[in-house]
Structure 1
Amino acid sequence: MKYLAIVFLSVACITGSAQQKKPVYLDVNKPLEERIENALSIMTIQEKVALCHAQSKFSSRGVPRLGIPEVWTDDGPHGIREEVFWDQWSGANWSNDSCTAFPALTSLAATFNPALSLAYGKAIGEEARYRNKNVLLGPGVNIYRIPLNGRNFEYLGEDPLLSSRMVVPYIQGVQSIGVAACVKHYALNNQEEWRGHINVNVSDQALHEIYLPAFKAAVREGKVWSLMGAYNQYKEEHCCHNGILLNKILKEQWKFDGVVISDWGGVHNTDQAVKNGLDLEMGTYTNGLTTEANFPYSEYYLARPFLTGVQDGKYDIELLNDKARRILRLIFRTTMSADRPYGSFVTPEHSEVARNIAQEGIVLLKNNTRFFPVPVGKYKKIAVIGENATRSLVVGGGSSSLKVAYEISPLQGLINKYGKQQIDYSRGYASGPAVYGREEPSKLNPDSLLATAIAVARNADIVLFIGGLNKNHFQDCEGGDRQSFGLPFGQDKLIDALIKANKNTAVILLSGNAVAMPWEARVPAIIQGWYLGSEAGNALADVISGEVNPSGKLPFSFPKSLEDNAAYSFGKLSYPGDSINQYYKEGILVGYRWFDTKKITPQYAFGFGLSYTTFELGDLAANKNTYTKSDSILVKFTVKNTGNAAGAEVAQLYVSDPVCSVLRPAKELKAFEKVFLEPGETKTVSLKLTVADLAFFDERINDWNVEPGEFSLKLGNSSGNISQSVTINVK
């Protein structure tokens, strides 16, 4: 009886325990922070440390004992990368991980359309959610400082306001699906040369006015849930564990409550990683892409060394608790969120989003004799020449390389639009395959390719040359900057020959960077097409044929020569540095700020882009003449479509501060609006900004400052075409 009583008592205890309420951290009806603190209170030190470092190439541990799941990341920001083996970079050869390729972020930036950015984020978020990813490793918002940077195609251009306006809805779209966006690379990662260690010397004014605003907008406005540190150093500390950037600015000043994730291999020191703001260490002991090693994850800087340091009293337990708390918050916002939507993958809706972004991002740079559009049926023979007409441009480029469900090439898009009988294709030039970390030359004979292309051009009514850059090493590719400003693989020579063979030759460039254009004056038309993703060919054909009116604007300036670029003009210490340090000698004069202030004429100005119709900007008026520092500034004007086709114009409002105690640019973009109009239609546009938007970062007070005086508001459709201005006063 005694034995039976003991058994009965034990069963009763178990049954009673099962009837208790589930832990608060599992109760989705409880406030998020209460759930986090509850989970944290019942975790061991070992479990907390295990949250803080990788367990595989792309994942980190959860807390299995408590039912808290792992964190799974995936490379973006243009599509969901294929599955890889647990501890290798090579693809796992799954049959169900081929994604939709969305246009590169330079293309998104060129739309100047935040609504499309929201649609982009939502669509790619759905694809990440379908693949059970917690964190999308993007978007990138590093500033376009020099046209040689191998990763410029992943970013949103040279202007901090444009980048800020476009990144916020992207983040909101991704996170509306219960997937964390991870804005990157924080901060000052503006080149690939020596990226792993170069120490960037930059003024505080340039740091805060040029290089940080998009990150700040991502945190304060976008409420981003995670952020990735950069490889390089700032003030001789690596950015993945940099006390000024991560603790002081990001977490203290901006009140960031998310997770700081290291770039893969970006951690170098346990003490700094623990104390200087890093939360989750990924990829240490690799170079970020190719090097595999036998070091166990338990030896990462935030693994056993961190655990030992906490147990020995070297590190305050609150440093560990803060990291664990942030990672739990990320998990509860994503995988453990009760209202997390379902995902979807490679849907017609996603293809439509990709096509719309590609269409609106294409920039018409030149159109003499109204070469474009090329209506279907107008010409008997259209020569399409150039490797980029058929080459896959979603493969290569480093971590953004994609395995896609489909990709419509420009040639296929043109054949679909014009018919196979009307198109005659010749390759013209050849590059080698995209191999990360080295150049692989083509085995094809360049002279033979050139001769064949010339013969095809001579027999055509018009020639569409489709070239540019690609995602090979030393082109638009992670891990190496471009080696020259000109077009690679003999394209300039080919274009010269095509012009001589057929004066009716247009140039269509697919790239993520500006290129030299020695032939610019001799071709009637130029299109900048970017990397346009799965729907590339359809979008290009839509614009070339005239079914879609181009409305893209350049998100960065095209210099006539590399020497005209600000960073390059100051010599090697400015770019690429001496392998240890580099100095941003141009300060705040980046992009159009440099061209306008120094009165250097670019090849094509920031914000420039033509249309198949014409527009007129009406009189600019401000709501009053004099403002105090707490006031809002409201400006109004009209935009009229004065042509015969429906189209869209991007009205751009710049501000000039002609008298200031510190150097300021000739003008800075402060607002813009994309306006869609039918032929003859007029719309009134209102743009709002605040007096605080006129401020500069004053190093004397280490804060933003608006000095009283006159400011000039300038309206135009590019930084190089201002049609009117109005003067206001600030008390």
Structure 2
Amino acid sequence: MNEAERLSLLKQLTLAEKVELLSGKGMWVTGSVPRLGIPALKVTDGPNGARGDGASGKTAASFPVGICLASTWNRTLLAEVGVAIGQEAKSKNAQVLLGPTINLHRTPIGGRNFECYGEDPLLTGELAAAFVNGVQSQGVGACIKHFVCNDTEYQRHTISSELDERTLREIYLRPFEIAVKRARPWALMSAYNRVNGTYASSHARLLRDVLREEWGFDGVVISDWGAALETVHNLNGGLDLEMPGPTRTRGQALVDAVSSGAVAESLVDDAVLRMLRLMEDTGRFAAPDPVPEEAVDRLAHRALARRAAAEGMVLIRNEGLLPLDFSGAGKVAVVGPNALRGQIQGGGSSGVSPHYQVMPFEAISAALSNAGNKPTYAVGCHAHKYLPLPPQGALSVDGQPGMRLRCFHGDGQMPVLDQLIQADYGFIGGLVLGGLNGERIAHPFTATLEADFLPEQDGEHEVGLLSAGLTKLFIDDELVVDNWEQQTPGDSFFGMGSAEQRARVSFSAGRSVQLRIQFASVEALLTGLRFGILAVPLKDLTSEAVEVAAGAESVVLVVGTSADWESEGNDRGSLALPGEQQRLIEAVLDANPRTVVVINAGAAVEMPWLQGAAAVVQAWLPGQEFGNALVDVLTGAVNPSGRMATTFPGRLEDTPAYPYYPGEDGKSPYGEGLLMGYRWYDAQEIEPLVPFGHGLSYTRFAYSDLEIERRGGVVTVRCSLANVGERAGQEVMQVYVGPTDSVPGRPVLELKAFDKVHLEAGEQTTATLTIAEDDLAWWSLESDAWTPADGSYRVAVGASSRDVRLVGELVLP
């Protein structure tokens, strides 16, 4: 369909039909106009996989989260992952993928940091462009998000990010600008928050003047879910599509606004034309009929997920312990709360139901079995925020594993849903009850969950319940947890749920009890519930872990967070590892110095024990191949080449946003200005715990012979790069540029170019990177424009922001 055909179709639409196309019909589908053959468009979360509508029960490939992908510093790999996730989206019959997430790590405790690509705008923008190109090569639109300054979950629906134009332009808009100009994404998501007082979904200066007029963006602007709050201001401000449905601010309200002259119909027409073009670009007109979702577990995707996870893991410290030789290893102990049930992804809208999950203990056991060896195991401590779900197999209905879920409309007579839930027990696993077949179940409704629970241990168990809605939990018809009559607000369900209510109950091992949960909806965007059961430990778990570690030749200690701690909807309260994990780490390191500490977390954590550890691996939240990828890195099957895409501070108090976070009176001042991330630590001369760009290898690289050349508005940086070790490996060459003479408030150095180079042992090459002189310009508040970067500049080439190997000078013009 060409432009003339789209215009012809537009002329046949009534105003009401035009408005229908600019609103959601369901949670994941848009409106349609069947009489003219205009189909609905389907979208899917998220950045690390394609979940689908969440109601079909179909599994999906789970790739590493954004920060793990970013830590590869590998554009080619990001494009490959984009291709694969585009294919995954097509298996879910979705035309638009809601990702990547390219907000920045302004504070290390941001709840969605795991989704993002780190703290640097250049790195984020370059990798996002590669990912978008990969997705869209499959005929699936990529929707970059969240535009803009959506950098905290605190009061996320209303907070106003307050910052000057220079900070906005050089830091927070920059990754979006790079992605838009280099990859031309077909969609962009406007954020919940306000920017200098104006809602991002109504911000005409950003959405119309900057995004469309300056950058040339011609795609569809989609609201974050529930972020379209202003009928007139949203459309006039540049928002094309309100999601989800049914509409709250469009429909007749927008028809009336056009009729009254508050909104020009020409703006509606422009938005409709963009929607029609997106449908054409994604093949929706050629295949308009809904197709059932599929779970397609491709071998190629398995291999890619494993390779991406391993390449994203960062070797932070290694005092000669790694790589481990599992073929001839002595006794190996695997310890820690994330060893048996690790975390492959974060919480919130980005999560998928994976085809499978390989955990560290499972993968290490498989690797050791080849040598006739078996690891020992101890949990060491618990680190949950909410009580964990019972293990699969502990719940059953008439001998079948799972729970019986029944949903009723208001009268409660005939169930609209009655089924056995076997995959994470449905919405009790934290999944928002999005409805049936992608359609929302209208409020009011009730639900019951029932199953027989078979305890494995005698004695006391903790039982917990939380919900977005009203809930009660019964055991053998006795009320145990009442989260109905009185609730305490919590941060579950994107901040819309209750705090967890807990009780203690005694069970007998092997004696089944009946568990029943009652649920009633409330008037809210999201509804759902979650429960957990955990046996109270009969002995000190840390002491048990110390005993296991002391009896081993080497220890793999896997600690970290979970999707409850790192989640959309709430920021973390501190940098500390949850629970008693710090005590566990210190005790195990003391018991066995041959311990490698694996951090299974999607953001910065405190490491007061770092200098006492022989080896530390930052594994992030690495997707379904977690365990296999970790074994690859630990054994040297993969030479680690991940580099930090975000700074790990020694203390939260050292971080740039600390004096200003979270803000007050509905405003969050960006008082640190340009000095965000590594720029702050350089300017303040603060030693970070782990610097931006840092990452070790099992080989060594040498830099020499720096050359800097200017020609035709391009700066070329060359140097000799050699692998002087005994293994093949990959080095990330990083180029930082800053003014020779310090300027108050201006970064000392900023990343301006990077490349990942593979070298065999003993191989040498000339690495060449280029920087457009326009990319060195700075935004002048006085002239409200980009200003050429005239003057003398220091060019630093090295392996991290703090590991500079070569320094040269650049004079502009």
Give the structure-1-normalised TM-score: 0.88
8 Å contact kept, 2:83–2:135: yes
- How far did 1:422 drift? 2.7
How far is 1:662 from its partner? 6.7
Code of the residue aligned with 1:577 in structure 2: it is G
Corresponding residue to 2:308 among 354, 357, 361: 357
Match of 2:769 among 687, 700, 706: 687
Matched, 1:485 2:575: yes
Say if 2:17 and 2:33, in contact at 8 Å, map to a contact too: yes
Please state whether the residue corresponding to 1:351 is helix, strand or coil: helix
Higher helix share: 1
Secondary structure of the residue that 2:540 maps to in structure 1?
helix
CA deviations over 1:45-65 (Å, ceiling 9, x no partner): 121110011110111112211
Equivalent residue letter for 2:687: T
Q: Is the 8 A contact 2:342 2:600 kept in 1?
A: no
> Does 1:62 find its partner at 2:32?
yes
Find the aligned partners of 1:139 and 1:223 in 2 and give their Cα distance.
13
Q: Distance in 1 between matches of 2:713 and 2:742?
A: 20
- AA matched with 1:497: A
Q: Is the 8 A contact 2:562 2:601 kept in 1?
A: yes
Q: CA deviation at 1:444?
A: 4.4
CA contact 1:126–1:345 (8 Å) conserved in 2: no
Q: Which residue of the other structure, out of 255, 260, 264, is the alignment partner of 2:225?
A: 264
Match status 1:526 vs 2:616: yes
Please say if 1:81 is aligned against 2:51: yes
**How far is 1:83 from its partner?**
2.9
- Corresponding residue SS for 1:455: helix
What is the letter of the counterpart of residue 64 of structure 1?
A: P
2:722 is equivalent to residue 640 of structure 1: yes
1:71-128 residue CA offsets vs partner (Å, 9 max, x unmatched):
10111111111434xxxxxxx353xx11110000101100000000100100000010
Hey, what does 1:424 align to over in structure 2? Answer: 376
Is 1:273–1:302's contact at 8 Å kept on the other side of the alignment?
no
The CA RMSD measured in Å over matched residues stands at 2.0
Q: How far is the alpha carbon of 1:170 from its aligned partner?
A: 0.4
**Is contact 1:387–1:428 with CA below 8 Å preserved after alignment?**
yes
Alignment check: 8 A CA contact 1:392 1:407 kept: no
Q: Which residue number in structure 2 is paired with residue 146 of structure 1? A: 107
Over residues 235-282 of structure 1, what are the superposed CA-to-partner deviations in whole Å (9 max), with x where a residue is unaligned? 211112212221221122112111110001112111111211111001
- Separation in structure 1 between the aligned mates of residue 106 and residue 243 of structure 2, nearest angstrom: 27
Question: What pairs up with 1:360-371 in 2 under 5 angstroms?
Answer: 360-368=311-319, 370-371=320-321
| Mapped partners of 1:79, 1:149: distance in 2 | 21
Q: Which moved more, 1:151-160 or 1:438-447?
A: 438-447
Alpha-carbon distance in 1 for matches of 2:810, 2:333: 54
CA distance in 1, matches of 2:774, 2:218: 25
Alignment of 1:246-325 (within 5 A): 246-283=207-244, 297=246, 300-325=248-273
2:203 paired with 1:242: yes
Alignment pair present for 1:655 and 2:606: no
| Percent sequence identity over aligned pairs | 38
Distance in structure 2 (CA, Å) of the matches to 1:681 and 1:698: 45
- The 2-side partners of 1:313 and 1:585 are apart by 40
Give the secondary-structure state (helix, strand or coil) at the position aligned to 1:578.
coil
Q: 1:159 to 1:395 in 2, by over 3 A?
A: closer
Structure 1 equivalent of residue 514 of structure 2: none
Q: Give yes or no for the alignment of 1:41 onto 2:131.
A: no
Q: 1:468 aligns with which of 557, 560, 571?
A: 560
Aligned position for 1:703:
785
The answer for the alignment partner of 1:578 in structure 2 is 664
C-alpha distance 393-707 of structure 1, shift in aligned 2 (>3 A): closer
1:654 and 1:310 map into 2 onto residues whose CA distance is 51
Q: Show the 5 A alignment for 1:397-408.
A: 397-408=347-358
1:591: which partner in 2? 677
Residue 659 of structure 1 and its aligned partner are, at CA, apart by 4.0
Maintained 8 Å contact 1:395/1:403: no
Measured after TM superposition, the shift of residue 704 of structure 1 is 1.2
Task: Provide the C-alpha distance between the structure 2 equivalents of 1:429 and 1:491, rounded to a whole number of angstroms.
Answer: 7
3-state SS of paired residue (2:67): helix
* d(CA) in 2 for partners of 1:498, 1:404: 32
Match of 2:423 in 1: none
Equivalent residues of 2:345, 2:622 under 8 A apart:
no
Using the TM superposition, give the Cα deviation of residue 363 of structure 1 relative to its aligned residue in structure 2, in angstroms.
0.3
Deviation at 1:439, TM superposition (A): 6.3
TM-score, length-scaled by structure 2: 0.80
Instruction: Specify the SS of the correspondent of 2:598.
Output: strand
Report deviation, 1:448: 2.6
CA 1:579–1:72 in structure 2 vs 1: closer, same or farther (change >3 Å)? Answer: farther
Q: Show the counterpart of 1:192.
A: 153
Q: Which residue of 1 aligns with 2:274?
A: 326
Q: Distance in 1 between matches of 2:346 and 2:617?
A: 23
Equivalent-residue separation in structure 1 for 2:595 and 2:326 (angstroms): 17
- For the 8 Å contact 1:646–1:678, the answer to whether it is kept is yes
Question: Among 750, 753, 771, which residue is 1:671 paired with?
Answer: 753
Q: How far did 1:379 drift?
A: 2.4
Structure 2: distance between partners of 1:218 and 1:337: 27
Does the 8 Å CA contact 2:67/2:602 hold for their aligned counterparts? yes
Per-residue deviation, 1:658: 2.7
Per-residue deviation at 1:41? 1.8
1:225 to 169, 186, 192: 186
* Match of residue 386, structure 1, among 316, 328, 336: 336
1:143-185 C-alpha deviation (Å, 9 max, x unpaired)? 0111110100000000001001100010011111111101001
**Corresponding position of 1:607:** 693
Q: Secondary structure at the match of 1:726?
A: strand
Q: 1:166 to 1:707 in 2, by over 3 A?
A: closer
- SS of the residue corresponding to residue 613 of structure 1 reads coil
Contact 2:345 2:623 in 1 (8 A): no
Residue 610 of structure 1 aligns to a residue whose secondary structure is coil
Matches within 5 A, 1:543-582: 543-568=633-658, 570=659, 574-582=660-668
Counterpart residue number, 2:67 = 106
Number of residue-to-residue matches in the alignment: 667
Q: What is the aligned partner in structure 2 of residue 155 from structure 1? A: 116
Deviation at 1:392, TM superposition (A): 4.9
Distance of 1:668 and 1:638 partners within structure 2? 22
Letter in 2 for 1:459: G
Stretch of structure 1 that moved more, 314-323 or 667-676: 314-323
Q: Return the offset for 1:701.
A: 1.1
Alignment partner of 1:117: what SS? helix
Shift of 1:399: 0.7
Q: Choose the corresponding residue for 1:133, options 94, 99, 115.
A: 94
Which residue of 2 is the match for residue 173 of structure 1? 134
CA 101–136 in structure 1, closer or farther in 2 if over 3 Å, else same: same
Q: Confirm or deny: 8 A CA contact 1:194 1:579 kept in the other structure.
A: no
Q: Is residue 2:584 matched to residue 1:494? A: yes
Mapped partners of 2:367, 2:264: distance in 1: 66
3-state SS of paired residue (2:183): coil
Aligned to 1:403, what secondary structure does the other structure show? coil
Return the alpha-carbon distance in structure 1 between the equivalents of residues 145 and 783 of structure 2: 28
The 1:82–1:425 alpha-carbon spacing in structure 2 relative to 1, beyond 3 Å, is farther
